[in-house]
A and B are shown apart, each in its own frame.
Chain A
Amino acid sequence: DIQMTQSPSTLSASVGDRVTITCRASQNIDNWVAWYQQKPGKAPKVLIYKASSLEGGVPSRFGGSGSGTEFTLTISSLQPDDFATYYCQQYKSYPLTFGGGTKVEIK
């Protein structure tokens, strides 16, 4: 199975900060990575697919990059609505696997 190691597990930031979350795959997954945002009590919502493609309707302050084994999700200017937990997922091979999550908290 492909392991997705996400870091940090918790991140404290202020409104307006630039935030970067990293996901490392245990083997090459090309660019088959998606990023999801989840708020408490709600279903996840996709932000980024194929490592860097922005899902329709997602604000442009969200960006993704990387290929192979190293991937990042960047929020260019953190907004109050962005405080949530973020997950990466590889969808290159079965079983599909998620990172452990990064909770973005208010500093």
Chain B
Amino acid sequence: EVQLVESGGDLVQPGGSLRLSCAASGFTFSDHYMDWVRQAPGKGLEWVGRSRNKGNSYTTEYAASVKGRFTVSRDASKTSLYLQMNSLETDDTAVYYCTRGHGDYNWYSDLWGRGTLVTVSS
């Protein structure tokens, strides 16, 4: 079955760290760009970061709000995507979605996981 399953969401104190995981299955993981998108409670969608595909050396891009604090990586052998989040702030509280990119020149999200909740609070 083609799916994405996120895990790792938790309650963490401001300044703390957390690593989210996304297990991909049912498709050739290395062929696709992969994104993290988040949604704060009651708010809209915010793109967080991207890992390009193997053909583009798995290079990454980030939103300004997380650059220098968050790192997107992947383990191709485990077909997993990760989001390492450091120096967490209360504004990082959100449901974090892992998405699969589809395209050839520019890439949109054609497959989404169910999300995992990160709460940053003291």
Contact: B113 with A43, CB < 8 Å?
A: yes
Known: A49-B108, A95-B61, A95-B63. Is A87-B45 also a contact (CB below 8 A)? Answer: yes
CA distance A29 to B38 in the complex (A): 23
Contact: A32 with B115, CB < 8 Å?
A: no
The A27-45 residues at the B interface (CB cut-off 8 A) are 32, 34, 36, 38, 42-45
Contact: A45 with B112, CB < 8 Å?
A: yes
Which of A18-26, A60-68, A70-78, A97-105 lies at the binding interface? A97-105
The B33-80 residues at the A interface (CB cut-off 8 A) are 35, 44-47, 50, 61-64
Contact: B47 with A49, CB < 8 Å?
A: no
Q: For A1, what are the chain B residues with a Cβ–Cβ distance below 8 Å?
A: 64
Known: A32-B106, A94-B61, A95-B61. Is A43-B44 also a contact (CB below 8 A)? Answer: no
B19 at the interface (CB under 8 A from A): no
